[in-house]
Amino acid sequence: MDFPINISSTSDVPLHRQIYEELRRAILSGRLARGKRVPSTREMSKSVGVARATVSMAYDYLLSEGYFEAYRGSGTYVSRQLPDELLEATDDIDDLVEQLPERSTLKTRPRQLSQYGQTLQSKDWLGYPDEEPEIQFTFGRPDLDEFPARIWSQLLTRHCRSRQLWLLDCPTKARGYTPLRNAIADYLAKARAVICEPDQIIIVNGSQQALDLVTRVLVDPGDIVGIEEPGYIGAQKAFHAQGAKLSPVFVDSNGVRVDFLKSRYDISTPDDMKLLYVTPSHQYPTGVSLSLGRRLDLLAWASRTGTIIIEDDYDSEYRYKGKPIPALAGIDSGASVIYIGTFSKVLLPALRLGYLVVPKDLIDVFARAKWLNDRHSSLIQQQVLSDFITEGHMERHIRRMRALYGERRLLMIEALKGLFGSDVTIYGENAGINMLVRFNTDIPDDELVIRARNLGVGISSTRYMYLGDAPHGEYLLNYGGLKDQEIIEGLTRLRAAMDRQETLLPVEAQD
């Protein structure tokens, strides 16, 4: 049996691929009918004028993908059911839909969201603009260009090639890849004075998942949860969605005010604070660091009242002056602290890798919560990260980035002072990749945000970070992901936005 096939010996496409494509097209168009016997490889090689091995290769692909069926002693046939059909939904859907009753005649019950769902649906949920401004001071991103992509991809290739397939699918590893947990335990002991056993570490998809698990495991609707005022929206929203009563705890230049906590919540007072969320290394958003005296005081208060402290240590690697103060989890002797770390600032937010360090009595319950949530975080990325840390790449990367961000920070300060003079006060500039500024201006906060956006600059007012009233003119400027030129250009445009004599907001939206 002869079957004409068009192939070109001058094409870049290999001959076996051309034969495969021709035959597949013929099958899909019906030129080669289902169930029809196809020429043998010998016949085909003769008719097309190519080596039999080349034809065999094309046939092997068609067989393995299910376009051909081979029967011993009888030959090769076009399959009766083609693989493409198995991937397509039925096209008889119109007939099915016709049999259903008219939608308008159906009695429908109003949709009833859970309390959690209702909070997520509420209007005060913060959205992101559809289009990002050209120069973005809004997101606390690291410099994405500086992500060590070459090293990362080499390590990834190494693991993909290792063929240790059991490593690619470990459903029992809810707590995370053991070598990574060992590496993190070593890192924490050295860099943060946190001494823990690797078993206490649970790998999660960034701090946000850590907060979600903490909330599920420890917070019931109506529980009082303390949160720094001003504080991190990601934490506020997680606790709020669970139905917690948020209790603002004020922050001054030494960090969270323990005297305030002691006066409001103690064993002798009727209200218990279940949990307190803090960012001691680099308070978000004010940038202050919790003094050692306050840390000790806070821990003593927590163990006396039984309050669990959630320590979010999201960017402590970037500190430009003085030695870091040990993490709360490092000086806690009362098992009061749950520590959260993330690789979002040190490496890349898109990796979605972070970790929890939990007291020993909470290991199992957190591991089960993680398993229920999403089984485990990406094991292949955990393997890469583990090598990245143990082979010294992370320390080198942090050293390099600290120097780079340190220079950007100086540039920010210089440019802010140069452009805004006495109209700006800068806070929290000693650490992190952002800084808090207060502008001396009459322009309402939302108005300045819009004016800046109209000039292609994104800035965030801190008013959404306060549960109560926010000071006027306060903004958090993230500079980690911006190049020098963008910093200068962005701040120059912000100055221009402030100098404009226009009002963009409707009168009632101004405060």
Ligand X SMILES: Cc1ncc(COP(=O)(O)O)c(C=O)c1O
Binding residues vs ligand X (CB under 6 A): 140, 206-208, 232, 279, 284, 312, 314, 342, 344, 349, 354
Our CB check for ligand X shows the closer of 23 and 278 to be: 278
Rounded least distance, CB 314 to ligand X, Å: 4
Q: How far is the CB of 318 from ligand X (least distance, A)?
A: 12
Tokens of 103: 């939608």
CA distance 248 to 447: 26
Smallest separation (angstroms) from ligand X to the CB of 202: 14
Q: Identify which of residues 54 and 207 has a Cβ nearer to ligand X in the complex.
A: 207
Show the CA angle centred on residue 507, arms to residues 502 and 511, nearest 5°: 100
Please give the structure tokens belonging to residue 239.
């606790």
Nearest alpha-carbon partner for 70 in 38, 29, 107: 38
Closest to ligand X by CB, 312 vs 387, is: 312
CA–CA distance, 237 with 256 (Å, rounded to integer) = 19
Could you tell me the smallest distance in angstroms from the CB atom of residue 192 to ligand X?
15
Is the Cβ of residue 388 or residue 420 nearer to ligand X in the bound state?
388
Q: Which amino acid is at 181?
A: R
Smallest gap from Cβ 382 to ligand X, in A, equals 15
Least gap, CB of 251 to ligand X (angstroms): 13
Q: Closer to ligand X at the Cβ: 18 or 478?
A: 478
Q: What is the DSSP secondary structure assignment for residue 241, as one 8-state letter?
A: H
Give the residue with the Cβ less far from ligand X, 280 or 354. 354
Nearest Cα residue to 245 out of 272, 267, 209, 266: 272
Q: Are 141 and 269 in contact (CB under 8 A)?
A: no
The residue at minimum Cβ distance from ligand X is 206
Tokens of 52: 């039999």
Q: How far apart are CA 364 and CA 358, in angstroms?
A: 10
Where would I find the H helices in 100-177? 115-121, 149-161, 165-168
DSSP letter for each residue of 20-35: HHHHHHHHHHTSS-TT
- Considering the complex, state which of residue 342 and residue 461 has its C-beta at the smaller distance from ligand X: 342
Helix/strand/coil (H/E/C) assignment for every residue in 277-345: EECCCCCCCCCCCCCHHHHHHHHHHHHHHCCEEEEECCCCCCECCCCCCCCHHHHCCCCCEEEEEECCC
Report the nearest approach of ligand X to the CB of residue 93 (Å): 40
Least Å from the CB of residue 480 to ligand X: 10
Cβ-based nearer residue to ligand X, 39 or 354: 354
Closer residue to ligand X, CB minimum distance, 67 or 284:
284
C-beta of 41 vs 207, nearer to ligand X:
207
**Cβ-based nearer residue to ligand X, 50 or 328:** 328
Distance CA 205, CA 377 (A): 6
Beta bridge partners of 436: 427, 476
For ligand X, the closer of residues 212 and 489 by Cβ is 212
Distance of closest approach, residue 84 Cβ to ligand X, in angstroms: 40
Helix intervals (H) in 162-309: 165-168, 178-192, 206-218, 233-241, 258-264, 292-305
- Kindly write down the DSSP assignment for every residue of 345-402, as one continuous string: TTT-GGG--EEEE--GGGHHHHHHHHHHHHSSS-HHHHHHHHHHHHTTHHHHHHHHHH
| Tokens standing for residue 485 | 């030129």
Shortest distance (Å) from residue 312 CB to ligand X = 5
Give the β-pairing of 457-458 and 135-136. Answer: parallel
Task: For the CB of residue 473, give the shortest distance to ligand X in the complex, in Å.
Answer: 21
300, 245 contact by CB (below 8 A): no
- Quick count: other Cβ atoms within 10 Å of Cβ 243? 17
Q: Least Å distance between CB 205 and ligand X?
A: 8
**List of residues 6+ apart from 404 with CB closer than 8 A:** 143, 146
Nearer Cβ to ligand X (312/445): 312
Q: How far is the CB of 475 from ligand X (least distance, A)?
A: 15
